[in-house]
Structure 1
Amino acid sequence: MTAGEISDPTVRTASALDWLTEAAQVRENAGLHRVLAPRAADDAALNLASNDYLGLSSDPRVVAGAVEATTRWGAGATASRLVVGTTGAHTALEADLADFLGTESALVFSSGYLANVGVISSLMGRGDLIVSDGGAHASLIDGCRLSRARVVVTDRGDHRAVAEILAARTEARAMVVTDSVYSIDGAVAPVAELHDAARAHGAVLVVDEAHALGVRGRGGRGVVDELGLAGAADLVVTAVLSKSLGSQGGVVAASTAVRDHLVDRARSFIFDTGLAPGAVGAAAAALQVLRSEPTLPDRVRAAARRLADRCGAPVPDGAVVSVVIGEPADAVAVAAACRDRGVLVGCFRPPSVPPGTSRIRLTVRADLTDAEIDHVAQVLHDARAEVTGTPSRGER
């Protein structure tokens, strides 16, 4: 090509996205390819893969709440919450959630993911420090990244390391983030110790109660309530409406000052369409069911203990039973074998879990019978024996 000539932009030797084919093959070879598997409305399989801990997603009272709100307010919120996307249903739900969780105020987001991203990235910024528990959910991790603060990750549950990092910091402002119940295995984080460390060093603690709401605490109010920390000025609670409440959405429960700050500064709230009225109505109805049936959390934890015992798995503190298989391909095959036998189970692989610890994740519901639990354990036993030659029953 001579000087002054311009190359033809339409001539390409390869597509800019050709690398995707090779990347997909790498994932396939590692057993990390993922496939969407649509459920049929009339699927008769026993479902232990969802997070519908209290079995409320199809409860007639909850469905009626969704229908009523949709009929009154329409199918969608139609705009961001700051424009015309806030309805009376939104504010009523926020008041009810704040009262239930023991906080001054609450703010509903379109998802738990957006709630976590919003609260962390708006409260922290450049020149601040975030200490992130090693078991934190991806949404907490992404909130840390988007904040542009300095982030230090500790081993899961290592509250002593958290205290040491906070004590040695040079930043004026600091935050500690953790799940209250870890989503992988249902274990409870040392929330009280983390709060002590945060308070001693002038940091705020953000606790994600996604897997604790409806499962732990008085009547399902969560671990923070269980520890007597509800409403603490230096503690922010996040939770979801999509697990125990069987709906969709997320919430931040904290002081009024925190709520006001989020409304002004949280980009995942300001620039997102409001939660659909039907989801708001369903969550509100589910919360009323939980208030009226406070033994539901006890029932779901009892079911989890029974299933863990039958599967020879560690007894969880929440609703999740985790059975480690090992390699990703084996875990996928065990999950498929369970599905062939009429039981849906979760399959967790890297990066959700460390390499070599791919697992079957079983989530129980409060409405499971003892017979169904025993059946699930037998199915997993048979599926694992078929795939790996190693049964799960009786292992410790």
Structure 2
Amino acid sequence: MEDGWAQALAERSALGLLRQTEVLQPAPGMRPLYHDAAGRLLLSFASNDYLGLARHPALREAAQQSFAVGEFGSGAAPLLGGERRQHAELAAALASWLGVEAVLLFGSGYLANLGVFGALTSAQDHLFLDRLAHASLIDGARLSGARLQRFRHNDLEHLETLLRKPRSGRAWIVSEGVFSMDGDLAPLPELLALAQRYDAALILDEAHAFGVLGREGRGSVEHWQCDGDALILRIGTLGKAFGSYGAFVASSAFPICWLQQAARSYLFHTALPASLAAATLAALPLLQQAQDRREHLQRLRQRLQAGLHGRPFLPSQTPIQGLILGSNAAALAAAAALRAAGIYCPAVRPPTVPQGQARLRISLSAAHSIEDIEQLLHALERV
């Protein structure tokens, strides 16, 4: 058995696909600076902390206050005594912010996506999933037992061709609001129109959209000025623009109530620590009022894209900027060269991205400065 694993790992390494955990220790201050295991200071372009809230003192203070009068862990599943006042207040605040009837908290975005598909779909249902949707959406769809069909990325004609075919059961259109690797947007108005035309429901993963899109960070619905009530479910994570940890599902009351009864990844997970819920509750008004941070992100993006002119970068309007390098070896070499220049931006390789599209996924944060972008561009010139 050991020999088999060793051979499999050697084969993965030869393909440039071996992955290893990097231990990074935050340096003092608000900038995304970290010390690696050797003590070297690195400027990170790898974090999804889009608004720079993960180091905000308000989050730290809220967590510390909650912890000072409470417990370290919740100790139980939400329905077995793990729910605390902070959880209820956070769910109510998120629902009010998004203008929905109810919100259900989960331990992570991955758990939320597993729970949503398993609880809401049946073997007779059809799931129409964007080809570039996140792995957690793919896994949730596969494990649900529903009939899964993938449509070409943001290809509305292909999606409509699939929706036209006769079917039994319910149809579900599944997409991300902002795609995690390419950084582009789902055409939400057109997806809603197709959902209405073919009597389908829509599941929208807003992990990379909440906090980033819209004047108050409400994501794709606010960005596109769509009717949010037409969306059956929106899924959000708290570990990205919120600067905290966890996830939630937002919808009308009946689907949320059903998830509470039937989503296994909710029923059997230990509730988030109350201190995390308290920190997220402190982050929400900061996120709502962070239009200056969102505008700063756009200025950073524009400067980066201007500096990358002539290089094969993806035309993203969001903090996710993909520089396509093609082969795994090229992406690994570029990441190593950046690291030697004091910049942390690891290579992203299959299966996270399609074969032949290995890249640097440059993730911008409002905690970056224009000078940080200049440092990155200068380093890239030497790669």
Same fold (TM over 0.5): yes
Tell me what 2:308 maps to: 311
Tell me what 1:192 maps to: 189
Q: Quick one: which amino acid aligns to residue 224 of structure 1?
A: V
- Cα deviation 1:275-296 (Å, max 9, x = unaligned): 1222212211111212233332
SS for the counterpart of 1:372 is helix
SS for the counterpart of 1:232 is helix
Please give the alpha-carbon distance, in whole angstroms, between the structure 2 residues aligned to 1:142 and 1:244.
24
Are residue 33 (structure 1) and residue 28 (structure 2) matched? no
Tell me what 1:323 maps to: 323
Are residue 130 (structure 1) and residue 135 (structure 2) matched? no
Is contact 2:314-2:324 (8 Å) kept?
no
Q: TM-score, structure 2 length as denominator?
A: 0.93
Q: Quick one: which amino acid aligns to residue 130 of structure 1?
A: L
Are residue 154 (structure 1) and residue 151 (structure 2) matched? yes
Tell me what 1:206 maps to: 203
SS for the counterpart of 1:18 is helix
Q: TM-score, structure 1 length as denominator?
A: 0.90
Tell me what 2:106 maps to: 109
SS for the counterpart of 1:82 is helix
Tell me what 2:32 maps to: none
Please give the alpha-carbon distance, in whole angstroms, between the structure 1 residues aligned to 2:374 and 2:227.
37
Q: Quick one: which amino acid aligns to residue 318 of structure 2?
A: G
Please give the alpha-carbon distance, in whole angstroms, between the structure 1 residues aligned to 2:315 and 2:152.
21
Tell me what 1:45 maps to: 42
Tell me what 2:163 maps to: 166
Tell me how far 1:234 sits from its aligned partner. Answer: 4.2
Higher Cα radius of gyration: 1
SS for the counterpart of 1:252 is strand
Is contact 2:62-2:275 (8 Å) kept?
yes
RMSD between aligned residues: 1.4
Q: Flag the 1:160–1:72 CA change in 2: closer, same or farther, 3 A.
A: farther
- Cα deviation 1:307-365 (Å, max 9, x = unaligned): 12212334422111110112112211211221121111132101111222110011111
Please give the alpha-carbon distance, in whole angstroms, between the structure 1 residues aligned to 2:278 and 2:337.
37
Please give the alpha-carbon distance, in whole angstroms, between the structure 1 residues aligned to 2:315 and 2:356.
21
- Compare 17-26 and 237-246 and name the one that shifted more: 17-26
Please give the alpha-carbon distance, in whole angstroms, between the structure 2 residues aligned to 1:219 and 1:307.
24
Tell me what 1:267 maps to: 264
- Compare 110-119 and 339-348 and name the one that shifted more: 339-348
Tell me what 1:358 maps to: 358
Tell me what 1:235 maps to: 232
SS for the counterpart of 1:295 is helix
Q: 2:78 aligns with which of 69, 81, 93?
A: 81
Are residue 91 (structure 1) and residue 88 (structure 2) matched? yes
Are residue 341 (structure 1) and residue 341 (structure 2) matched? yes
Q: Quick one: which amino acid aligns to residue 331 of structure 2?
A: A
Please give the alpha-carbon distance, in whole angstroms, between the structure 1 residues aligned to 2:67 and 2:304.
37
Please give the alpha-carbon distance, in whole angstroms, between the structure 2 residues aligned to 1:328 and 1:339.
17
Unaligned runs of 5+ in 1: 1-14, 385-396
- Cα deviation 1:84-136 (Å, max 9, x = unaligned): 11111001111111111221111110001111111122111211110001110
Please give the alpha-carbon distance, in whole angstroms, between the structure 2 residues aligned to 1:37 and 1:188.
30
Tell me what 1:8 maps to: none
Tell me how far 1:194 sits from its aligned partner. Answer: 1.2
Is contact 2:192-2:230 (8 Å) kept?
no
SS for the counterpart of 2:91 is helix
Tell me what 1:140 maps to: 137
Please give the alpha-carbon distance, in whole angstroms, between the structure 2 residues aligned to 1:242 and 1:23.
32
Is contact 1:104-1:231 (8 Å) kept?
no
Aligned length: 368
SS for the counterpart of 1:237 is strand
Please give the alpha-carbon distance, in whole angstroms, between the structure 2 residues aligned to 1:95 and 1:230.
20
Tell me how far 1:259 sits from its aligned partner. Answer: 0.8
Please give the alpha-carbon distance, in whole angstroms, between the structure 2 residues aligned to 1:310 and 1:240.
31
Q: 1:223 aligns with which of 207, 220, 242?
A: 220
Please give the alpha-carbon distance, in whole angstroms, between the structure 1 residues aligned to 2:347 and 2:11.
19
Q: Flag the 1:260–1:27 CA change in 2: closer, same or farther, 3 A.
A: same
Please give the alpha-carbon distance, in whole angstroms, between the structure 2 residues aligned to 1:365 and 1:296.
9
Please give the alpha-carbon distance, in whole angstroms, between the structure 2 residues aligned to 1:317 and 1:73.
42
Percent identity for Structure 1 against Structure 2: 35
SS for the counterpart of 2:291 is coil
Is contact 1:102-1:230 (8 Å) kept?
no
Please give the alpha-carbon distance, in whole angstroms, between the structure 1 residues aligned to 2:230 and 2:182.
30
- Cα deviation 1:247-288 (Å, max 9, x = unaligned): 111110111111101100000100000112222122111112
Tell me what 1:69 maps to: 66
- Compare 288-297 and 73-82 and name the one that shifted more: 288-297
Please give the alpha-carbon distance, in whole angstroms, between the structure 1 residues aligned to 2:143 and 2:287.
35
Q: Flag the 1:117–1:147 CA change in 2: closer, same or farther, 3 A.
A: same
Is contact 1:115-1:252 (8 Å) kept?
yes
